[in-house]
Amino acid sequence: MNNRTRDIPVSIPDKPVRLLDQFRAWLRTNHYRYQTERTYVHWVVTYIRHHDRKHPREMSSPEIQAFLTHLATQRHCSPATQKIALNALNCFYRKFLKIEFPALDFRQSRKPRRPPVVFTDEEARAIIEQLTDPFKLMAELMYGSGLRVSEALRLRIKDIDFGQCQLIVREGKGNKDRVTVLAGQLHGRLKLQIDLASSYYKQDRENGVGPAWVPYALARKYSGQASQLGWQFIFPSREPARDPQTGIIRRHH
C-alpha cells in the first residue's frame, strides 16, 4: 500500500476464511478505527511469527507472557509499545476469539523517563521557514492550529471557516471531532491551496476520476456527497491512485 492510501482499509472477502481477515472484519463491525486495526493486526502477526507461526488457538498465557517479555528484554521496546502489543493480544483473544486466560506475569518494559526536548518558538519558526508550499503551509497549520500530521492531511475544503477563523478536525484523537483556531495570516495562502484543490477536482471530473474517499458510515449517510467540491482534500496528491478496497481510481490526500 502506498503512502497516499494508507488510511483506506485494505480489501477483505465478504466471507473471510483466513483468521486475520476474520479479525479485520470483526474490528470493522465493531467500529474500530483503521489505524487501530492496522496496529492490532501488526502485533498479532508479530506474535504469531515469534512463535514460529503456531496457530493462536494452540497458544495461551505462556506464549503471550513469553512474547511480551521478549519485547521488554530483547527488543527493548518502550512501556507504551509493550502496552499496545498487550492491548492487541487482549482484544484478539478475549474479545474476538472469546478465549480467556489467567492474569499474565511478564517482564514489563522500563525506560527512564526524561523530559522531552521541545523547540523554542524561534527554533520552530526557523525550521518552518526552510520549507516551501504546500509543505510550509501544512507545517504552519500544524504549529498554529495544533494539528497532527494525519489531521492536517485529512483536512477537506468544507472543514475551513474563514469567517469564524476556525477549522474543524474530523475524527481526531479519541475518534472525536474538535474545533480549533485558524491563524488569519494563513487565509490568503490557504485560499490559493483550495483553488489548486478545486482545479484538480474539475480536472478529475472531466477525466472520470472517482469521488474522494470517505469513511464507510459517512459514505452511507451522505451518499453522493463525496463527489461534491467541499469533500475534496485541501492537500490532494499530485496523481490519482487506485483505492485498494474498491479498485476505484480516486485522488487521495
| DSSP annotation string for 114-135 | -PPP---HHHHHHHHTT--TTH
What pLDDT is recorded for position 58?
Answer: 94
Q: How confident is the model at residue 220 (pLDDT cuts 50, 70, 90)?
A: low
Of 242, 245, 211, 206, give the one whose Cα is nearest residue 226.
211
Q: Where in the chain is the domain with CATH 1.10.150.130?
A: 3-96
User: Cell match 472517482: residue?
Assistant: 210
For the domain spanning 3-96, the CATH number is 1.10.150.130
The overall average pLDDT reported for the chain is 88
pTM greater than the 0.95 cutoff:
no
Task: Provide the pairing of β-strand 160-161 with 166-169.
Answer: antiparallel
First to last CA, the chain: 14
pLDDT at 71 over 90: yes
Positive or negative CA dihedral for 171, 172, 178, 183?
Answer: negative
pLDDT at 177 over 90: no
Dist CA 211 CA 191 (whole Å)? 22
